[in-house]
Chain A
Amino acid sequence: MSSHHAYANLIDDRPQDGVFRINRRIYNDPAVLEAEYERIFERTWLFLCHDSQIPNLGDFIATWMGRQPVIVVRNGDGEIGCFINSCGHRGALLVTRRTGNVSTFDCPYHGFCFDTKGKCVSARNRQSGWKDDFDIARFNLRGVAKVASYRGFVFGSLTEDVADLETFLAGTARLIDLFVEPAPAELEIVPGFCTYISNCNWKLMHENGPDAYHAPVVHRNFAETIANREARDGLQGMAKTERGRLTARIESGSYEVGNGHTIFWHERIDPSVYPIYEHREELSKRFWPAQLEWIIGRGRHITVFPNLLLNDLASSHLRTYRPLGVNRMETTIWCIAPKGEPPAERAARLRKFEDFFLPSGMSTPDDIALCEEAHIASFGKHAGWFELTRGDAFRSDGPDDAAKAIGMEPLASTTSWDHELTLQGVYRQWRRMMQAGG
């Protein structure tokens, strides 16, 4: 039972009737996941890594594109390539470390060697096994169809049939620009990472990011804890965590970007707690007031469908996801910061990151718990459909003034960060891709 319509019918999108519903089967049906691998993960751009993680020739990162293990490597010409992490000879997993530096990839099974462009440069005991005219190029590693990077964020696609990366990123590109450009040099991944595994469908976690509606409920305990700490210790400046977003009515907005991507923002009640505030003088020489408003005055949250989350809310970070099964998923999270930032700013950034975002932090565990519990609830087949209609009445097509000010052109805008049009956008794209067939 895997006709294309069967999956498309799991999303009931009828704007003319004021209906947007999702069937919970999308979270727990193994056939859905199988189709997602083929029609989503193998048919679009996927985030691979950040430029700064592989700065030198021969640096590589082993990661995944959906279920396929891949190696991302900076080759001898300084370009970034990506190969299936499988020996061209008999298919052994070529690289088992997360990252490293090589001149050649040497297979641990039969000793074949490949250069950083994937070319087979040595088949062991070639003379005694093959005739002289045998071309070992047939063992070359299988490259992925496309690799491109945007402002240091490296993406790959397993199919040629994708738009260029910037077109794919659509409106998120403008906000990525404003994420990157304030840094005097570039951004870098702060050393150290965290990978965590959750017992839920990957889409529940992907939804949890752009869903700002949950924050004042699920993270109220965080806001209370921080308020208690700040009162007790009389904290000032960067040592503080802005919690206005969790407790007060604030100005905010969100966008259906297109291609399944989402953006929301919120006004920062106290911008002075962020390290970037220290640089406002210098930034005001380089950016227009409207851009400064976005950079200093607003918390920003971006998701790029299907596997990247980038945000600068409590602290700046990026996350990538992959399914491990229909009911299990993996998230990897890094802190991202301006290269060479002053130690006091780096430390303040890190402490706020560790406070909130990790499975050992004071907020992410609550998100994980609710995603896992939502997964359990998804088996309640007799309550099979749920609605995503919050904010429909406030939706307007195209960019609002905040978006126009930075040249961002979303499909639709709304007046609050906690409206559900972001999630409608995710599932419209999901439906489109699942319908495309295999």
Chain B
Amino acid sequence: MTDIDLLADVTAFLNREARLLDAQQWHDWLELYCEDAIFWAPAMRMEGGYTNDPELELNLIYMKGRAGLEDRVFRLGTQLSLASTPLPRTRHFLSLITIDLVSETDVQVFANWQVAWYADVRGQQGRAGSYEYVLRRTDEGLRIAQKKILLLESDIDGYFDFYGV
């Protein structure tokens, strides 16, 4: 596979994830994740920069294993979460999709993102940041082994969940 082919594959994969989130197709979306996937949004340190040791430092979200994402999908399904009922509508915008490192098993990918978010009552909101993915090359194609989400903002306006970043 040439570099161009791989970049096309990776881009299509990231686009697919973004579309599934915006379409609220959670179960298809979960399929993109490896069983042992890490979903990680570090917090900021008081002195600046992101936390980097999830065992010892605070994170906005840190879930080891796809089951953590399944929990969040389950919670939305209870229809009892005031913050998620009705579900806010989102649109993801990805750019600067770049392959940072390729090995036989993995592809490390960087991308910038922006999410437009609209909720009844609370209205429009926007967030931005970058993603650092580790994509695993499996027989079924690429799967997410790690998704690290770096939020641009240190003061978080409102609230968010996995579908809003």
Contacts and interface: CB of A to CB of B under 8 A. Distances in A.
Interface string B136-165: 000000000000000000111111110000
Given A193-B46, A222-B75, A365 B84 contact: yes
Nearest to B61: A360
A197 B81 contact: no
B87 interface: no
Interface string A191-224: 1111111110000000000000000001011101
B5 interface: no
A232 B42 CA distance: 26
Interface in A74-111: 97-100
A221 B41 CA distance: 22
B156 A195 contact: yes
Given A99-B46, A193-B45, A360-B156, A350 B59 contact: yes
A354 B42 contact: no
Contact of B46 (A61, A226, A335, A370): A61
B44 A192 contact: yes
B43 interface: yes
B57 A192 contact: yes
Given A53-B46, A372-B122, A373-B121, A343 B156 contact: no
A364 B158 CA distance: 10
B74 interface: yes
Given A221-B78, A354-B60, A98 B161 contact: no
Interface residues of B, number: 39
A190 interface: yes
**Number of contact residues on A: which range applies?**
35 or more
Nearest to B156: A196
A197 B155 contact: yes
A193 B161 CA distance: 18
B53 to A, nearest CB: 8
A233 B156 contact: no
A347 interface: yes
B55 interface: yes
Most buried by A among B54, B56, B122: B56
Given A192-B43, A369-B83, A353 B58 contact: yes
Nearest to B122: A372
Interface string B40-83: 01111111100100111111111000010001101100101111
B55 A365 contact: no
Contacts of B55: 343, 346-347, 350
A403 B75 CA distance: 37
Contacts of B81: 221, 362, 365-366
A346 B74 CA distance: 27
Given A192-B42, A353-B58, A225 B158 contact: no
Contacts of A61: 46
A226 B74 CA distance: 10
B87 to A, nearest CB: 12
Given A192-B43, A192-B58, A193-B46, A359 B159 contact: yes
Contacts of B161: 360, 365
A40 interface: no
Contacts of A199: 122, 158
A233 B66 CA distance: 12
B43 A224 contact: no
A224 B46 contact: no
B44 A220 contact: no
A362 B71 contact: yes
A354 B83 contact: no
Contact of A368 (B58, B74, B75, B83): B83
A42 B136 CA distance: 56
Contacts of A193: 43-46, 58
19 contacts: A98-B48, A99-B46, A191-B51, A192-B57, A194-B60, A195-B156, A199-B122, A224-B80, A228-B71, A228-B74, A346-B55, A351-B62, A354-B61, A360-B161, A362-B72, A365-B160, A368-B83, A370-B82, A373-B121
Interface of A: 53, 61, 97-100, 190-199, 218, 220-222, 224-226, 228-229, 232-233, 330, 334-335, 343, 346-347, 350-351, 353-354, 358-362, 364-366, 368-370, 372-373, 376
Interface of B: 41-48, 51, 54-62, 67, 71-72, 74-75, 78, 80-84, 121-122, 154-161
3 nearest A-B pairs in the assembled complex, by CB-CB distance: A192-B58, A365-B83, A365-B159
